[in-house]
Amino acid sequence: MKIDISRFWRQRRRKDCRGLLMMILRRIRSLRCGERRLPGLKRKRGVRSSIEALLKRVSQGKHLGTINPLVDIYNSISLSYALPVGGEDIDKFEGNIRLTLADGTEPFITLGSNESEPPKEGEVVYKDDAGAICRCWNWRESVRTMLTEEASNVFLCIECVDPERKEILAEAIHTLKDMAVGELGGTAEAAFLDRDHKEVVID
């Protein structure tokens, strides 16, 4: 299986967008999809990044609750480093994963819904051959590929587009890797995708 972000970069260049995203993590408020619009990208109004949603709950004194051990681990990493973290079940993927702009026809059913809610055309999504996996970067994931306690092969993703936080991103990735393996067993590999490294193959 291959994870590919090259199409996203080609699409962004065609739309003459400067930079991957408007300093997503320099300030948490800039993580809100829709609060600041970027040329060529469409967003669902009112969308919040996963890390902003977590921080909002914590700041309000609300209990995050337990989902499952792996999700709890990556939520703790997300809060520790103020970086969006997500995860999916590799065995539920169909074909390769792409970070790309939606064409607006991708099937997408989220947890708690029985109806497909396709992304808007031009919305940033992770997708495979069967449809969207995650909408608006990592705002909301598909129930089809979400992590459960039965998952044995998983894909974890940490997003950071602030070049000044590259070292923090690297630390977060390795901390997540070590914590997941240390607490749950198994093996893990880390890879970095960016403008110059657009894909990685997972055996």
The answer, yes or no, to whether residue 84 has pLDDT greater than 70, is yes
CB 93 within 8 A of CB 128: yes
Question: From CA 62, how far away is CA 119, in angstroms rounded?
Answer: 30
Confidence band (pLDDT; 50, 70, 90) for 37?
Answer: very low
Q: What is the pLDDT at residue 4?
A: 55
Mean pLDDT computed over 121-145: 92
Helix, strand, coil distribution of the chain in percent, nearest 5: 30, 20, 50
Question: From CA 45, how far away is CA 160, in angstroms rounded?
Answer: 21
Q: Which residues contact 71 (CB under 8 A, 6 or more apart)?
A: 87, 147
Q: What is the pLDDT at residue 202?
A: 83
Question: From CA 1, how far away is CA 201, in angstroms rounded?
Answer: 6
CA angle at 5 for the pair 181 and 68, rounded to the nearest 5°: 30
The answer, yes or no, to whether residue 14 has pLDDT greater than 50, is no
pTM: 0.77
Mean pLDDT of the chain: 79
The answer, yes or no, to whether residue 6 has pLDDT greater than 60, is no
